[in-house]
Amino acid sequence: MHGEDLHVLVVDDSAMVRQVMQAILSTNRNVKVNAAADPLIAWAKMQKDPPDVVITDLEMPRMDGLTFIRKIMLEIPTPVVVCSGLAARGTELALRALEEGAVEVITKPKVGVREFLHESAVTLLDAVWSASEAQVSARPRPPLAAVPRLTADAVLPHKRKSLAAGLPNGVIAVGASTGGTEALRVFLSALPTNCAPVVVVQHMPEVFTRAFADRLNNECAIQVQEARDGDRLQTGQALIAPGNRHLLVNRSHEELVVQIKDGPLVSRHRPSVDVLFRSVAISVGSKAVGVIMTGMGDDGAQGLCEMKEAGASTIAQDEASCIVFGMPREAIARGAVDAVVPLERLATAAMSAQSR
């Protein structure tokens, strides 16, 4: 333990990437950063001074990132954040790394962009703190640099009246973050082909969501795909919000259609669970089911309150089965949740709530 400080080890063979990552992370005085040019150097440093979180590239000299992650999980279990390029190979490797036990995936900083985007710094710092919470011993989270924190109002005004009347069927809306890739696999693979349409926000960078959806599509009985603007919601189908874009569900006569929208970070995220849940509260109301799963922070808690107020059934994943209990805990604390169930029973609970 390092008291209030968070010790992060950055592993990347690019000196420029290491420098940029160190500069971003060091903007939070509670984060202490060390760096290594390859996994063997990193391993020696880890044995002398075990970090709280490791951020690693996947394609490096002397040892590849997947082997490095396996070694960490076997010998010095430590939360790992994968820092990957956007190329197809990087995307595939990052998804495999999540299966090997990595808890977050972020995209490589845009080296050479002098004014490195402020919200990318927010994303990186949040990923590191989220990962640090994915341990048995929880640590108080020091304050992040002051960032204007926007609510779903920034994307969609709050309307009290729901438009649910006349809809032929409902929707299961799901929000997840840290640990969510594996939790979603369990949840979606347990849903039958006659289930109501499912819409998902998983905090994940752009490009990765399509590969993630394709991978789930191969494993699930239902159809899973990355959502596109204008997609109609259909029985036996799950649509996953594309990384870096908000997903809303809108009413079009007696159909529900997806809107993919740019906009600011909401509750520190884009896509934001709050934005999805609010749109479902407005468009689907009492015919919806809201499910909040493992993840850091409170994105989705306010939106789930709005769904409950609109008459929807609301469910949270229980603490024992969460990698990080932050999002469900916050929703429960705000009185937004009807039922708290383990991951392996979430699909059954959602189906039961949908048919009530």
Amino acid at position 198, single letter: V
Q: Which domain holds residue 258?
A: 158-354
Can you tell me the distance from the alpha carbon of 80 to that of 323, in angstroms, rounded to the nearest whole number? 13
Determine the pLDDT at residue 254.
83
Residue 256 lies in a domain: yes
Query: Which listed residue (57, 203, 279, 283) is catalytic?
Result: 203
Determine the pLDDT at residue 21.
87
CATH of the domain at 60: 3.40.50.2300
pLDDT above 60 (res 115): no
Residue 149 lies in a domain: no
Can you tell me the distance from the alpha carbon of 102 to that of 298, in angstroms, rounded to the nearest whole number? 22
pLDDT above 80 (res 168): no
CATH of the domain at 340: 3.40.50.180
186 and 128 in a common domain: no
* Average confidence (pLDDT) over 261-288: 94
Q: Are 107 and 7 in contact (CB under 8 A)?
A: no
The share of the chain scoring above pLDDT 90, in percent, equals 65
214 catalytic? Reply is no
Domain total in the chain: 2
pLDDT digits (tens, 9 = 90+) for 311-340: 999 999 999 999 999 999 999 999 999 999
273 and 221 in a common domain: yes
Which of 99, 133, 167 finishes a domain? Answer: 133
**Token digits for 314?**
């609301």
181 and 64 in a common domain: no
pLDDT digits (tens, 9 = 90+) for 197-228: 999 999 998 889 999 999 999 999 999 999 99
Residue 59 lies in a domain: yes
Can you tell me the distance from the alpha carbon of 65 to that of 45, in angstroms, rounded to the nearest whole number? 16
Output phi, psi for 332, to 5 deg.
-65, -45
243 and 182 in a common domain: yes
200 and 86 in a common domain: no
pLDDT digits (tens, 9 = 90+) for 16-75: 889 888 888 988 899 999 999 999 999 999 999 999 999 999 988 889 999 999 999 999
130 catalytic? Reply is no
Determine the pLDDT at residue 16.
87
124 and 10 in a common domain: yes
247 and 329 in a common domain: yes
Give Cα 114 to chain centroid, integer Å: 27
Query: Which listed residue (269, 272, 299, 321) is catalytic?
Result: 299
Residue 307 lies in a domain: yes
Residue 188 lies in a domain: yes
Determine the pLDDT at residue 219.
95
190 and 123 in a common domain: no
Q: How does residue 90 score in pLDDT terms, banded at 50, 70 and 90?
A: confident
3-state secondary structure of 331: helix
The share of the chain scoring above pLDDT 70, in percent, equals 88
Determine the pLDDT at residue 167.
63
Residue 190 lies in a domain: yes
Q: How does residue 153 score in pLDDT terms, banded at 50, 70 and 90?
A: confident
pTM, to two decimals? 0.84
pLDDT above 60 (res 175): yes
Residue tagged 């994105």 (tokens) = 299
119 and 220 in a common domain: no
pLDDT above 90 (res 280): yes
* Average confidence (pLDDT) over 219-244: 97
How many residues in the chain? 356
316 and 184 in a common domain: yes
Q: Tell me what the pLDDT averaged over the chain comes to.
A: 88
Amino acid at position 123, single letter: T
Which of 98, 133, 168 finishes a domain? Answer: 133
Residue 153 lies in a domain: no
33 and 179 in a common domain: no
Residue 146 lies in a domain: no
Omega of the bond prior to 271 within 30 degrees of 0, cis? Answer: yes
* Average confidence (pLDDT) over 285-297: 95
Which of 29-33, 140-144, 159-163 tops mean pLDDT? 29-33
Q: How does residue 187 score in pLDDT terms, banded at 50, 70 and 90?
A: very high
Which of 133, 166, 193 finishes a domain? Answer: 133
315 and 255 in a common domain: yes
Query: Which listed residue (84, 132, 177, 283) is catalytic?
Result: 177
CA angle 271, 258, 260 (to 5 degrees): 40
203 catalytic? Reply is yes
pLDDT above 50 (res 137): no
